[in-house]
């Protein structure tokens, strides 16, 4: 049943023909790595976003924001993208081959990626390093940053970048969000939006885009509590994991994976599961879905642990979602670069009271003896701890000259201290969904082509299908068209898209709907007008081609029920 190797070209052709996606700027020859969404595609994409939002906003109670796509340079200095997201490149002056400059000196330097372009130039000359391809001289080392750079405002005083991920917009709003959440963790924030990466060579259609859509979730949690309240509900569910120690797929329960230390913690495990549920609900084939742990050296500069949801596409296993434990990296960095405290005040369940021994100066004795210096000496005494007392005496050091004081001037007292909490930098769990890749995966996994009949069907889940129901008159005359238009009007709404089609033969119209994945079609035939079936029409199921007769007046209700998940057989 399942198409073994979907031809990406055939599917892309269908996508263009049927209004799913179009290569951008085709009118002017096109730009690699950029695509526009057509009406059916955008509808499908919106449906995907709606379901994602349903899971995180309604299901988990997360809040949604929207932030700017152009960010000042400081943001990406803090995030590390200015330094980490660029590669130092050099080009052979003879054969023009490009090379990562730091890779060429990795045998010479312990840590070549800290070298500056200038230092690398010098290193090439000093060590006689030439082009690995042809031996030619290497050109000057240049920085190639994958971020699109711009300036904010007139002149070029303020450098800005188009964001390479939406996440930073959430991190820079941490304090606002934290207050909005009334100073509590966990704090879940979601955002959809575009990110931009100036890919050197975009390939593989929608898989590597220069301007792409993300659905990002940032969950701020207590670093000492990486459990999740709903974890027990899902702990016995199984999924396919590819841990980075063996690299071999294994099927196991979440609890087993956490227990064996394969998945770092429960909250990460929970959201890996949530991701699986979401992707399957959207129509990703469970048999072509796995979760692969990043290799140690593959982890992003910010990640503590990272799992990719990978889908098997005609391009091979492809990352469609990354679920990372970013630790405290982002907030620590933004705190450092902005000079602002970005912490969570973690209240203890009960304030911790401890008894501590402190040294207390006898100010009554000090005053008369030291006059004006008394206050200073008192604070010096109180800065000491009981452990500093030797033979009942303390040695102070005012102005570099030793001063010994006896216990007539101080006493050891026991005080009760109350600590009601501590400040911690929240850790961030980030499920980051590549919307365009998910969109493409949903299409590829839904696509089925029968070469014998030259017939293509998109077996989209009804929930994501751009058009829910096609409405046809068997022939566009004799009043059949009027009945069909009336049915169309009664069903078509902003939630349920219905499509009226009266042109061409009936088979052609079914074929058109099958090609955009419309799950059901209603046809008004002559029996609707007279005879024993008067007042009824047929409804056809895309995946089986089976038809049932239903009363005209019930069409809207029945389509609604089918969308709710009622099986077609049960009609």
Partner RNA sequence: GCGAAUGUAGUCCAGCGGUUAGGACGGGGGCUUCCCAAGCCUCUGACCCGGGUUCAAAUCCCGGCAUUCGCACCA
Q: Which of residues 82-101 bind RNA (CB under 7 A)?
A: 85, 87, 91, 95-100
Subset of 46-85 contacting RNA (CB under 7 A): 85
Residue 102 sits in the site that holds RNA (CB under 7 A): no
Q: Give dist(CA 36, CA 87) in Å, integer.
A: 29
CA distance 470 to 489: 12
Rounded to whole angstroms, the Cα distance separating 290 from 228 reads 22
Site for RNA in 203-262 (CB under 7 A): 203-205, 208, 214
Closer Cβ to RNA, 221 or 484, answer by number:
484
What's the token pair of residue 78? 């803090």
Q: Which is nearer to RNA, 30 or 286 (CB)?
A: 30
Distance between CA atoms of residues 288 and 311, nearest Å: 5
Residue recorded with tokens 């924030």: 189
Q: Identify which of residues 361 and 517 has a Cβ nearer to RNA in the complex.
A: 517
Candidate residues 242, 384, 403, 506; the one interacting with RNA per rule CB under 7 A:
506
Distance, CA of 457 to CA of 121 (rounded, Å): 57
Residue 351 CB, shortest distance to RNA, in Å, is: 42
Q: Which of 451, 465, 417, 455 is nearest to 563 (CA)?
A: 465
The region of 346-354, 369-377, 484-492, 511-519 touching RNA under the rule CB under 7 A is 511-519
d(CA 96, CA 133): 10
Two tokens, residue 441: 């995966």
**d(C-alpha 449, C-alpha 7), whole Å:** 10
517 binds RNA (CB under 7 A): no
Residue 478 binds RNA, judged by CB under 7 A:
yes
Give CA–CA dist 498/471, Å, rounded: 7
CA-nearest of 266, 312, 274, 277 to 292 is 312
Closest approach of RNA to the CB of residue 390, in Å: 55
Assess 293 for contact with RNA (CB under 7 A): no
| 74 vs 199 by CB, closer to RNA | 199
Find the binder of RNA among 3, 16, 332, 338 (CB under 7 A).
16
Nearer to RNA, 170 or 394 (CB): 170
How far, in Å, CA of 562 to CA of 185, rounded?
A: 39
Q: How many CB atoms lie within 10 A of CB 98?
A: 14
Contact (CB, 8 A) for 265 and 325: yes
Closest to 430 (Cα-Cα) out of 169, 113, 237: 169
Furthest C-alpha separation in the chain: 119
Kindly indicate which of the ranges 48-56, 67-75, 420-428, 500-508 contains the residues binding RNA, using the contact rule CB under 7 A: 500-508
Contact (Cβ atoms closer than 8 angstroms) between residue 435 and residue 192: yes
Q: What is the footprint of RNA within residues 262-281 (CB under 7 A)? A: none
Number of residues forming the site for RNA (CB under 7 A): 72
Region of 6-14, 41-49, 183-191, 380-388 interacting with RNA (CB under 7 A): 6-14
Our CB check for RNA shows the closer of 1 and 372 to be 1
CB of 305 to RNA, least distance (A): 12
Verify binding: residue 504, RNA, rule CB under 7 A. Answer: yes
Write down the least CB distance from residue 76 to RNA, Å. Answer: 13
Q: According to the 3-state scheme, what is the secondary structure of 86-106?
A: EEEEEEECCCCCEEEHHHHCC
Q: Which is nearer to RNA, 99 or 291 (CB)?
A: 99
Using the rule CB under 7 A, which residue among 423, 508, 534, 557 binds RNA?
508
At closest approach, how far in Å is the CB of 450 from RNA? 9
Site string for RNA, 175-204 (x = CB under 7 A): ----------------------x-xxxxxx
User: Does 20 participate in binding RNA (rule CB under 7 A)?
Assistant: no
Type and span of the H or E element at 41: helix 39-53
The token pair at 194 is 């575009």
- Stretch near RNA under the rule CB under 7 A, chosen from 269-277, 300-308, 417-425, 561-569: 300-308
Residue 51 contacts residue 464 (beta carbons within 8 Å): yes
- The binder of RNA chosen from 31, 49, 374, 552 (CB under 7 A): 31
Edge to edge, the sheet with strand 149-152 lists 70-72, 158-162, 149-152
Q: Considering just the CA atoms, what is the radius of gyration of the chain in Å?
A: 33
Residues 437-476 that bind RNA (CB under 7 A): 453-456, 474-476
Please state the closest distance from residue 504 (CB atom) to RNA, in A: 5
* 423 lies in the site for RNA, by CB under 7 A: no
CB of 462 to RNA, least distance (A): 17
Residue 112 Cβ vs RNA, minimum distance, rounded to whole Å: 13
Among candidates 346, 440, 322, 391, which has minimal Cα distance to 44? 440
Is the distance from CB of 320 to CB of 280 less than 8 angstroms? no
Strands 316-327 and 344-361: unpaired
As measured in angstroms, the least distance from the Cβ of 565 to RNA is 22
The residue range among 46-54, 391-399, 403-411, 542-550 that interacts with RNA, by the rule CB under 7 A, is 542-550
The correct pick among 434, 462, 466, 517 for binding RNA (CB under 7 A) is 434
Q: Which of positions 123-152 make contact with RNA (CB under 7 A)? A: none
Alpha helices in 262-385 (DSSP H): 266-282, 329-338, 363-370, 374-382
For RNA, which is the closer residue by CB, 235 or 488?
A: 488
Q: Identify the residue among 63, 242, 300, 403 touching RNA (CB under 7 A).
A: 300
> Of 33, 169, 243, 519, which lies in the binding site for RNA, with binding defined by CB under 7 A?
33
The pairing of strands 469-473 and 498-500 is parallel
* Contact positions with RNA (CB under 7 A) in 398-417: none
Which among 64, 279, 280 has a CA at the least distance from the CA of 192?
A: 64
């Amino acid at each position: 049943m399942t198409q073994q190797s979907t031809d990406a070209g055939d599917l892309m052709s269908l996508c263009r023909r049927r209004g799913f996606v179009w290569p951008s700027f085709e009118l002017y020859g096109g730009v690699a790595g950029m695509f526009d969404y057509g009406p059916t595609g955008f509808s499908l994409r919106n449906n995907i976003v709606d379901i994602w939002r349903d899971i995180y906003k309604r299901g988990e109670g997360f809040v949604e924001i929207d932030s700017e796509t152009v960010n000042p340079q400081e943001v990406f200095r803090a995030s590390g993208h200015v330094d980490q997201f660029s590669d130092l490149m050099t080009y052979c002056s003879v054969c023009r081959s490009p090379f990562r400059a730091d890779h060429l000196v990795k045998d010479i330097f312990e840590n070549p990626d800290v070298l500056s372009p200038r230092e690398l130039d010098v290193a090439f000359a000093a060590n006689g390093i030439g082009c690995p391809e042809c031996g030619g001289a290497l050109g000057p080392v240049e920085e190639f940053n994958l971020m699109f750079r711009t300036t904010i405002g007139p002149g070029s005083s303020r450098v800005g970048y188009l964001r390479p991920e939406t996440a930073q917009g959430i991190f820079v709003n941490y304090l606002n969000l934290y207050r909005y959440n009334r100073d509590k963790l966990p704090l879940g924030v979601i955002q959809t939006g575009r990110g931009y990466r100036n890919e050197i060579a975009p390939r593989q259609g929608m898989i590597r885009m220069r301007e792409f859509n993300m659905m990002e979730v940032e969950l701020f949690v207590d670093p000492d509590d990486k459990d999740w309240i709903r974890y027990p509900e899902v702990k016995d569910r199984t999924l396919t994991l590819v841990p980075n120690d063996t690299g071999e797929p294994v099927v196991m329960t979440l609890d087993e994976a956490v227990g064996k230390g394969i998945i770092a913690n429960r909250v990460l495990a929970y959201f890996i599961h949530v991701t699986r549920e979401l992707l399957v609900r959207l129509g990703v084939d469970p048999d072509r879905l796995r979760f692969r742990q990043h290799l140690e050296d593959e982890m992003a500069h910010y990640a503590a642990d990272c799992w990719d949801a990978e889908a098997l596409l005609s391009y091979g296993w492809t990352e469609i979602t990354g679920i990372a434990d970013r630790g405290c990296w982002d907030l620590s960095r933004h705190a450092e670069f902005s000079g602002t405290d970005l912490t969570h005040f973690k209240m203890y369940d009960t304030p911790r009271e401890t008894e501590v021994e402190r040294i207390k100066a006898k100010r009554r004795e000090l005053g008369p003896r030291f006059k004006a210096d008394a206050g200073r000496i008192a604070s010096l005494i109180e800065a000491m701890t009981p452990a500093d007392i030797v033979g009942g005496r303390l040695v102070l050091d005012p102005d570099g000259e030793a001063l010994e004081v006896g216990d007539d001037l101080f006493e050891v007292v026991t005080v009760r201290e109350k600590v009601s909490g501590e400040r911690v930098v929240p850790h961030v769990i980030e499920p980051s969904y590549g919307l365009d890749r998910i969109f493409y995966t949903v299409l590829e996994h839904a696509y089925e082509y029968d070469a014998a009949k030259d017939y293509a069907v998109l077996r989209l889940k009804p929930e994501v299908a751009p058009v829910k129901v096609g409405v046809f008159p068997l022939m566009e005359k004799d009043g059949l068209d009027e009945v069909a238009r009336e049915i169309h009007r009664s069903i078509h709404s902003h939630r349920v898209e219905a499509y009226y089609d009266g042109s061409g033969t009936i088979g052609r119209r079914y074929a058109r709907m099958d090609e955009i994945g419309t799950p059901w079609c209603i046809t008004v035939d002559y029996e609707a007008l007279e005879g024993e079936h008067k007042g009824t029409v047929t409804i056809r199921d895309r995946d089986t081609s089976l038809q049932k007769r239903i009363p005209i007046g019930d069409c809207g209700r029945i389509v609604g029920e089918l969308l709710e998940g009622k099986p077609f057989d049960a009609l």
